[in-house]
Structures are given as C-alpha cells and as structure tokens.
Amino acid sequence: MIKRLLSFEWKQFSRSSYFKKGIAIKILLAFAVLYFGGMALLLGGSLFFILKKTIPETDPMTTVNSFLFFWFIFDFMLRYFMQQLPVMNVKPLMIIPVKRNTVIYYLLGKTSVSFFNILPLFIVVPFTIVLLVQGYPVIPVLAWLIGFVAITGSINFINFLVNKNNVVFYVVLALVATFGVLEYYSIFKISEPMGYAFNYMYAHPYLVVVPIVALVALFNATFHFIKKGFYLDDAISKKVKEVSTTDLSWLNRFGAVAPFLKNDIKLIQRNVRPRQVMMMSFMFLFYGLVFYTQDTYREMPALLAFASMFITGGFLMTFGQYVPSWDSEYYKLLMSQNIPYKTYLESKWYLMVVAVLFSFILSTPYIYFGWDIFGMIAAGAVFNIGLNSFLTLFGGALNRVPIELNVKAKAFSNTNGFNPTQLLIGLPKFLLPMLIFYVPYKLINFNAGLIALALVGVLGIVFRPYIFNKIEQVYQKGKYKTIAAFSEKQ
C-alpha cells in the first residue's frame, strides 16, 4: 500500500501544469542538499582532528558532548522556521477501504526521511568512523551514535506536535525561553548536565535505551494525535465563525484603487497565510541590529546598504513577491470585471508604499546608531518605493503559482505560491542598491553614496506612469496563462 501511495503522489505531481516549475525547485533543492551535505561530510570527517588540535587537553568526545545541547536547540529552531511538514490529500482515501493507520504511518515516514533528519548523519557518521579508526571502543561509540540519532528523531516529532498543537507549542516555548534565560545569565547552565548525560551514556552504553524509548513515545504520541482527527466528518465539516466587519470607508479618498485596497486589507485580516506573512515582515525591522551593532559591519558600508533594504522593505519583499497569487482563488472574477489592469496594479503599489513608509517611521529608534545610519535607512526607503516596488510587481507578472489562503504553514518555508523566477527577480533588489551606493562612496564619500541611492528611487517615482505602462503590458500579455494556472490547485 505504501508503494501505491508513493505512486499516487508522483502522478499528482507529474501530471500537473506546474510540473516543470516543481522540477526546477527540486533541482535547486538538490544542489542545496549536495552542497550542505558535502560541507557536513567535510566537517564530520575533520571535527575530531580540529578539536584535538585546538583543545588538546580535552578528549574530543567530551568536547562534542558539552556542545550537543546547543546543537539540539539549533536543530529545533531551524526545523520550526524552515521544515515543511508533510502534506497529503487524504479526503479521497477516507472513502475507500484503506486503513487509517497505513496512511498515518506513510505521513510519519515522509517526515522521518526529511533533509533535517539526514543532514546530521553526514556529520556524526564520519565523526563516529574517525573515532573507531582512532581506537575508541566500538560498543560505546555506536551507542552514542544511536542515542544521537534517536534524539534527532525525537526533535522531529516534537516539531510536528509544536506545529499542530497550541498546548505543546506554548509548553515548549516556555521551556526553551526559561532555559535560555538561565543559560544566558549563568544562573543554571542546562548545557552542562546535558553534556554529563551524554558522557555518562558513552561510559554506560546500555543507557542508550532512554533516548530510544523517548523516540518511540513521541512517535506514538504523534501517531495518536493525527489519528484523533483523521475522520471524514472532521475533514469536510466547516467551522462556523461570526464574521466581523471593519469600516474601511476612509479608503474611498484613494479613488479607483480604493476597492482593491479594501480587498487586500480584508484578505490580510481574514486569512491565515497573508496574516502570517505580514507579521513576519515586521521582523525585518530588527534586521539592522545584526549589522549596526557590529564594528566589523560598520567598516563595510555596502553591507549596511544591503541591511537598509530589509528594514523598510520587509512587507514589500514578503507580501509583495506573491502578487498576484494572493488573488488566485478569485482571479477569474477580477479579470472578468470592467477594471483597468493598471488600477489593480496601482492598488498593490500603494499598499507596498504605505508599508514602506510605516516601517520607516517605526525605524526611527535607529537614530541611536547615528544620523549616517538613519540616513542610509531613509535612502533605502526611497529606493524601495522608487525601484524595488516596481521590480516586485514585474516579478509578479511571471508568478503563476496559486496560493491557498488558509493553509497554516511556516511563512519562512511554505513554498505554496513559490516560483524560482522570484529568486532571479529578487537578486537586483539586494545587489543593485549595494552597487549603486558603493561606487559613489568609493569614488567620492559616504554621503554621495546615500544621495545616489535616494536619487535612483526618486527617478523611479518620477517615471512611475511610464514604468506602470510597461509592467501592465507584461501582465496583459500573460493574462490568460495566469488565469489557466490559477484554475489548477496544487
């Protein structure tokens, strides 16, 4: 039956209109896997000798065990923000004689062979082989390896429960935050007893049964959690909610674009995915703290120009890149109305501009780092409005992947609506401002770089009608291809 389920998924993928785009994404992911896998193998094979050279007075195994707690925390955080949970259309399977347990085992099997579970093996397996070659006892080393793999698998199922159950999410969040604060202020270093525990398990290999039992328990907990809601009635029932209305009449002053602005605001208010992306976009406001607080970056102004794009352009780069996919569920209706395409595009542009201006206002505390830094943020805001906003709209003309508005998934990792073309369109948004700033900065001075960056944005605003006409032509040319692509659900 598992073989047949795999066959169903392959047929669904290969027969769809987005097959070529899916192949492109998977090729990019394959290259990423090869790169990171190769780096992990290199690290795993050389880790023993690096530790032996840098910390000769301590056994490399002991050193590794003392840092395993931080590795597992990093692993969990990376999974939470990046790992895409397995999805499958199970409704058709519920009305045919297929055992629920089989489908659930298949889903859990998919998440067990995740890249995030395999990558650590590229580090610990070579490290284990080196230990054995160096004469370490076989049974303790293998027990340590099994324990590491079991804890990695346990984190996988914890991540699954955290994403699906609010109670588990808040409990885990409270534990991580508590131990993080205690560790940071040296009140209680949880990393030390964790290191002792692994050293003790290495000295007493029979204790490997503890992480194995934890893995089995978490697997069963995840299995029963999925099974509890695995019923046809639960899958097809609609949750009835009281609809609240918002008075958006004040938007009428924007004229013809007002109905579209109202529609976008309601879309963000009422749907999971756009609300998720909008909240994530405000995290970009703190991006400058990574660069402006480090003297190393202060000596590389081109990187500061790179950071300034993100501070005010979070909404533009997250929400904006999915135009017009946000409207994919009712795109046919929009295109059947007697509405100029330019008006539709202008509404999206105004929304991004307001978001950039609002982010700029919220960024005023960066004055603390100096007026030169705040001036760069201001120049970045003008550049985002005058050029990056148009690049974003142009990229949308090539984006024909629909979005399911109420699919709750990680905003960082959800590839629903993703198009590899966005990667190519996104490069100028990051690299161009660095180049425009750096050349005048190097030839003249810092202020010349800021003026050049802002001037490009001002020119974009001045030539906005001409740019809009060109972008509209691209949208009009691919209009019916976009409608056809949005009609097919992934």
Closest CA to 117 of 69, 67, 83: 83
The C-alpha atoms of residue 376 and residue 381 are separated, in whole angstroms, by 9
Q: Quick one: 390 and 362 in the same domain?
A: yes
Q: What are phi and psi of 154, to 5 degrees?
A: -65, -40
The C-alpha atoms of residue 157 and residue 224 are separated, in whole angstroms, by 12
Q: Quick one: 342 and 229 in the same domain?
A: no
Give yes or no for a contact between 441 and 448, defined as CB atoms under 8 angstroms apart: yes
Q: Is residue 243 part of a domain?
A: no
Q: Quick one: 260 and 215 in the same domain?
A: no
User: Roughly how many angstroms between the first and final C-alpha of the chain, as a whole number?
Assistant: 23
Q: Is residue 320 part of a domain?
A: yes
Q: Quick one: 253 and 398 in the same domain?
A: yes
In the chain, how many domains are there?
2
Does residue 340 have a cis peptide bond before it, meaning omega lies within 30 degrees of 0? Answer: no
Q: Quick one: 156 and 36 in the same domain?
A: yes
Q: Is residue 8 part of a domain?
A: yes
Q: Which two tokens stand for residue 335?
A: 């295109």
Give whole-number Cα distances, 239 to 15, 164, 243, 276, in Å: 32, 17, 12, 20
Task: Quote the pLDDT of residue 324.
Answer: 81
The C-alpha atoms of residue 207 and residue 199 are separated, in whole angstroms, by 11
Give the number of C-alpha atoms closer than 13 A to the C-alpha of residue 448, restricted to the C-beta side: 9
Q: Quick one: 231 and 279 in the same domain?
A: no
Q: Could you please report the per-residue DSSP string of 214-283?
A: HHHHHHHHHHHHHHHT--HHHHHPPPP-PPP----GGGGGGGGGHHHHHHHHHHHHH-HHHHHHHHHHGG
Q: Which two tokens stand for residue 191?
A: 């990393």
Q: What are phi and psi of 338, to 5 degrees?
A: -85, 65
Give yes or no for a contact between 85 and 107, defined as CB atoms under 8 angstroms apart: no
Task: Quote the pLDDT of residue 336.
Answer: 80
* pTM for the structure as a whole: 0.57
Q: Which two tokens stand for residue 83?
A: 């790992």
**Residue 478 CB burial class (10 angstroms; 0-12, 13-18, ≥19):** middle
Task: Quote the pLDDT of residue 94.
Answer: 62
Tell me which residue range forms the domain holding 37. 2-236
Place of tokens 């992990």: 40
Q: Is residue 177 part of a domain?
A: yes
Q: Is residue 447 part of a domain?
A: yes
Helix ranges, 113-137 (H) = 115-133
Give yes or no for a contact between 172 and 232, defined as CB atoms under 8 angstroms apart: no
Q: Is residue 242 part of a domain?
A: no
Q: Quick one: 284 and 181 in the same domain?
A: no
- Asked which of 209, 236, 263 is the last residue of a domain, the reply is 236
Q: Quick one: 280 and 419 in the same domain?
A: yes
Q: Which two tokens stand for residue 287?
A: 């991006």
Q: How many C-beta atoms lie closer than 10 Å to residue 490's C-beta? A: 17
Residue count (the chain): 490
- Asked which of 236, 269, 297 is the last residue of a domain, the reply is 236
Task: Quote the pLDDT of residue 148.
Answer: 93
Q: Could you say which DSSP state residue 385 is in? A: I
Q: Which two tokens stand for residue 266?
A: 């309601």
Q: Quick one: 98 and 175 in the same domain?
A: yes
What is the maximal distance between C-alpha atoms in the chain? 78
* Amino acid (one-letter) located at 5: L
Q: Quick one: 253 and 206 in the same domain?
A: no
The C-alpha atoms of residue 318 and residue 281 are separated, in whole angstroms, by 6
Q: How many C-beta atoms lie closer than 10 Å to residue 436's C-beta? A: 21
The C-alpha atoms of residue 163 and residue 86 are separated, in whole angstroms, by 12
Running along the chain, 490 residues long, what does each successive block of 10 average in pLDDT?
Answer: 62 57 63 78 88 87 88 84 62 66 78 81 90 91 93 90 79 82 76 86 91 93 82 49 57 73 80 76 79 73 80 83 80 79 84 89 87 87 89 81 62 46 68 85 86 90 89 84 71
The C-alpha atoms of residue 110 and residue 89 are separated, in whole angstroms, by 14
